[in-house]
Amino acid sequence: MKDVDLIFGPRVPKDLFQRERKRFLVPTALFAAAGVLLLVSIFLPYWQLTLLAPQYPGGLKAQMYVNRLNGDVQEIDGLNHYIGMRPLGDAAKLERSLSVVMIVVLTLLTATAIFVHSPFALFLAIPAIIYPGVFLADLYFWMRSFGMNLDPKAPLSSAVKPFVPPLLGPGDVGQFKTVASWEAGLILALLASLTTIVALYFHRRAYKPLLVARLAAQKKDGSW
């Protein structure tokens, strides 16, 4: 069997496709849906930090998109300055600059899996599956780095011990309370990951019998 055939797998006979159209369309639709979810997530916030304090009745909110920060970032940075924390915009500069391109690449890899009828589709799908976890791990790294490395020369550095801001849920920073929440963009990325896993399940059900039959036939006629 040629290497290219091992990668792309067997083609679906037209008569079989007509008889069992749903069997082959389901993984295609799921892979396509996962790609769309990833693309749409670019335009939505992934994470939000709300800072609660008596002097801010409505709270201060900083929203993180994959490529930018929105909201009351300057106000939060002003408060963080007093405890010695670096500005939020200093975090993940490289990741933000590459994020849109990387998500487009993930989408293209997921879409390519539609045309690969072999186990190689798994390798194309893995990046989309692990992407939300990688995003959260990177976010945790930067939050920990900022919270655990406070400037000792800051005016209120002695009043706040090093801390790790939570990725989800409530937290405390000195006299302030914080609430971290996962937003629509990250939820879509998580759905894309789950959809990709389901797509792989139906992909295997659809194409493994064809691959097994093809390998058996080639082994029998000596073309293996």
Dig out the tokens for 13 from the structure.
Answer: 């006979």
Q: What is the pLDDT of residue 121?
A: 95
Q: What is the pLDDT of residue 130?
A: 98
Q: How far apart are CA 22 and CA 178, in angstroms?
A: 48
Three-class SS of residue 156? coil
Residues of the chain with pLDDT below 50 are 1, 224
76-104 b/e (C-beta count within 10 Å ≥ 16 → b): bbebbeebbbbebeebbeebbeebeeebe
Three-class SS of residue 50? strand
Q: Which residue matches tokens 């990177």?
A: 138
Q: What angle do CA 151, 136, 196 make, to 5 degrees?
A: 165
Could you tell me how many residues make up the chain?
A: 224
Q: What angle do CA 162, 50, 158 make, to 5 degrees?
A: 25
Is pTM, for the whole model, over 0.75?
yes
Q: What is the pLDDT of residue 224?
A: 46
pLDDT, one tens digit per residue, over 165-210 is 899 999 988 778 999 999 999 999 999 999 999 999 999 999 999 9
> What is the bridge-based pairing of β-strands 69-71 and 56-64?
antiparallel
Q: Are 108 and 127 in contact (CB under 8 A)?
A: no
128-166 b/e (C-beta count within 10 Å ≥ 16 → b): bbebbeebbeebeebbeebbeebeeebeebeebeebebe
Dig out the tokens for 44 from the structure.
Answer: 């939505």
Q: What is the pLDDT of residue 90?
A: 94
Three-class SS of residue 44? coil
Return the amino acid letter for 27.
P
| β-bridge partners, 169 | 180
Three-class SS of residue 91? coil
